[in-house]
Amino acid sequence: MTRRVCILAQEALLPDLADVLRLFLGEIELCGAEAAEVCLRHELRDGGHACEIAGRGAFVPQGARGRDELEQKRFFKRAAKLAAYGALKSWTGLHPPWGALTGIRPTRLFFEQRAQGKAAKEAEEALIEGFDLLPEKAALLREIAGEQGALPAPGPGEIDLYIGIPFCKTRCSYCSFAAMDLRAGAKLTEPYVEALIAEMRLCAPSLKGFAPRCLYVGGGTPTALSVPQLARVLDEARALFPGFWEFTVEAGRPDSFGAGMLKMLKEKGVNRISVNPQTMNDQTLLRIGREHSAQETLRAFEAARELGFARINMDMILGLPGETLKDVEATLHALAALSPENLTVHTLAIKRASRLRQSGETAHSEEASAMVELAYREAKAMGMRPYYLYRQKYMAGNLENVGYAAPGQACAYNVGIMEEIIPNVAFGAGAISKWLYASGSRIERAPNVKSVEEYIARAPEMAARKRALWEGQDPCRLPDDKGREPR
């Protein structure tokens, strides 16, 4: 149910305060006071932030001021959000699992505490006290930080690369990505491949001197392209950007690739793939628009193993429509029997662009927390450890997505992109390139247009955006590590 809410505050604070309201009320519609069911009021007084809703209030001193203007704005918004959180918690009696945190990268706050000289346990306690995290969530951040601390840090001049293939055989009902259904977009695959190769070629000269570390080919579903089309893209990337040691392709849906595709990936040097069932329940697969069966997932995984793929990730989604805790348990047991090296556990997020959202479906949180806890236990039973985490808006139960890995099998690209600790050069429709500045306080972005048709027409312009971002940068500069765990 959508709640009509009025926010009486500075305009610059409205998006942040709306995010806090969603933690407690779910879907909201902002409106004027006369049409609102409830109003949240924010004001500055006595050197701090006061928030009030339905007669319940909270006050948070401004506290830290920040070293520069950007940091000052961040601390100002943080204090305002904490005041709103306090008022809403008092009014509703609810305790969101991640407390007052609304951002997608909660690990950042843990690293921020470590950078201030706190021991890992002290950082964990500071997040519980300062942001009201449930103890198990703060402990999860500490565990993930420890896993990331054991990974090699990006070196001077290293970059990661991303290639986006925005096509899928069919569009899943929960999907909000800018991906085209092949039934409508098949005629665009060839011009897209040509545009993608042109963008890479135009960017390559400005990246000389940099050292590629990881190449990740994602989507959409990269294997929705034909074998020759995807082979051309991979050949071009290897020729233009040699030297990367981690090479991931999201093989994705088991109905989008066969032995010929897997053999080609192996021949091109791909050393990590994803086989993504999302669930091993055939009824759910039909319900969400995936035209494959659980048995096809098993056959696809076995075919990849037979061809020698030694690093395989599998994705699953918790909270899919109609699924129960028993269904999730059955999926986890089926995946455990396959012994993948990585397991990525998503909590369903129903975003505006998805068919589920447009049909009025909302994420159900009743069992989501129990599903997340079950997935953690089962992943541990598989011998895996959590190594990265991120959150999204509109997630069931305001929970999280977690990547698990067997010892020594963590995906370096995933950590780099989620923690933003290495420059990232991204090609294709909807891809966003990022340059990190040494202070750690600023990231410059060069986004590509999301529309496939627009991208095909404007690929040279997208390349020019990236060249402007990279040209003149010093490949010998080591990006700031933002207080990651000491090595």
| pLDDT tens digits for range 188-229 | 999 999 999 999 999 999 999 999 999 999 988 999 999 999
Residue 377 belongs to some domain of the structure:
yes
Residue 100 belongs to some domain of the structure:
no
Residue 113 belongs to some domain of the structure:
no
Q: Which pLDDT score, from 0 to 100, does residue 481 have?
A: 41
**196, 321: one domain:** yes
355-397: per-residue pLDDT in tens?
554 455 554 566 899 999 999 999 999 999 999 999 987 777 8
**90, 189: one domain:** no
Q: Which pLDDT score, from 0 to 100, does residue 441 have?
A: 60
Residue 484 belongs to some domain of the structure:
no
**74, 169: one domain:** no
Residue 26 belongs to some domain of the structure:
yes
- Residue 246: what residue type? E
Say whether pLDDT at 168 is over 80: yes
Q: Which pLDDT score, from 0 to 100, does residue 177 have?
A: 62
285-289, 304-308, 333-337: which has the minimum mean pLDDT? 285-289
Tokens of 130: 């300062």
Last residue of a domain, one of 94, 118, 138: 94
**329, 452: one domain:** yes
* Portion of the chain with pLDDT greater than 70, in percent: 91
> 39 forms bridges with which residues in the sheet?
6
40-88: per-residue pLDDT in tens?
999 999 999 999 999 999 999 987 777 778 888 989 999 999 999 999 9
Averaged pLDDT score across all residues of the chain? 90
Last residue of a domain, one of 61, 94, 127: 94
**Region 16-43: what's the mean pLDDT?**
94
**374, 231: one domain:** yes
Residue 475 belongs to some domain of the structure:
no
117-167: per-residue pLDDT in tens?
999 999 999 999 999 999 999 999 999 999 999 999 999 899 999 999 999
Say whether pLDDT at 279 is over 80: yes
**223, 339: one domain:** yes
Instruction: Categorize the per-residue pLDDT at 179 as very low, low, confident or very high, splitting at 50, 70 and 90.
Output: confident
250-264, 408-422, 432-446: which has the minimum mean pLDDT? 432-446
**86, 175: one domain:** no
450-470: per-residue pLDDT in tens?
999 999 999 999 999 999 988
Say whether pLDDT at 445 is over 90: yes
CATH of the domain at 1: 3.90.950.10
Residue 144 belongs to some domain of the structure:
no
Say whether pLDDT at 486 is over 50: no
Q: Which pLDDT score, from 0 to 100, does residue 377 have?
A: 98
Domain count across the chain? 2
CATH of the domain at 340: 3.80.30.20
Q: Which pLDDT score, from 0 to 100, does residue 131 have?
A: 97
Say whether pLDDT at 267 is over 90: yes
Last residue of a domain, one of 52, 74, 94: 94
Packing angle, helices 452-470 and 189-203, rounded to 10: 10
**166, 305: one domain:** yes
**235, 353: one domain:** yes
Q: Which residue range is the domain that position 23 belongs to?
A: 1-94
Say whether pLDDT at 315 is over 50: yes
**319, 420: one domain:** yes
Q: Which pLDDT score, from 0 to 100, does residue 442 have?
A: 78
- Residue 395: what residue type? M
Instruction: Categorize the per-residue pLDDT at 484 as very low, low, confident or very high, splitting at 50, 70 and 90.
Output: very low
Rounded to an integer, what distance in angstroms lies between the CA atom of residue 247 and that of residue 200?
17
**332, 450: one domain:** yes
**88, 190: one domain:** no
338-364: per-residue pLDDT in tens?
999 999 999 987 655 445 544 555 545
Say whether pLDDT at 108 is over 70: yes
Tracing tokens 């455990």 back to the chain, one arrives at 336
Rounded to an integer, what distance in angstroms lies between the CA atom of residue 132 and that of residue 455?
43
Residue 143 belongs to some domain of the structure:
no
